[in-house]
Structure 1
Amino acid sequence: MKTNAFEVASRYVYPSLRRRLVEILREKGLKQTQIAELLHITQSAVSRYLRMDRGALIDVAQFPDIDDGLKKLAEEIIQKRPTEYEIHLRLVQISLEMLSKGYVCSFHSQIDPELNPAQCRVCLELFG
Structure 2
Amino acid sequence: MKTNAFEVASRYVYPSLRRRLVEVLRERGLKQTEIAELLHITQSAVSRYLRMDRGALIDISAFPDVDGEIKALADRIIEEKPGEYEIHSELVKLSLEFLGKGYACSFHFQIDPEINPAECRICIELFG
CA distance in 1 between counterparts of 2:70 and 2:107 reads 20
1:110-125 map, 5 Å: 110-125=110-125
Q: Give the AA of the match of 2:125.
A: E
Give the aligned length.
128
Task: Return structure 1 stretches of 4+ with deviation > 6 angstroms.
Answer: none
Residue 114 of structure 2 is aligned to residue 108 of structure 1: no
Q: Offset at 1:21?
A: 0.2
Amino acid at match of 2:71: K
Structure 2 gap segments, 5+ residues each: none
Matches within 5 A, 1:41-120: 41-120=41-120
Matched with 1:11 is: 11
Does residue 127 of structure 1 match 2:92?
Answer: no
In structure 1, stretches of 5+ residues that fail to align are none
Match of 1:28 in 2: 28
Q: Distance in 2 between matches of 1:71 and 1:38?
A: 15
TM-score, with structure 2 as normaliser: 0.99
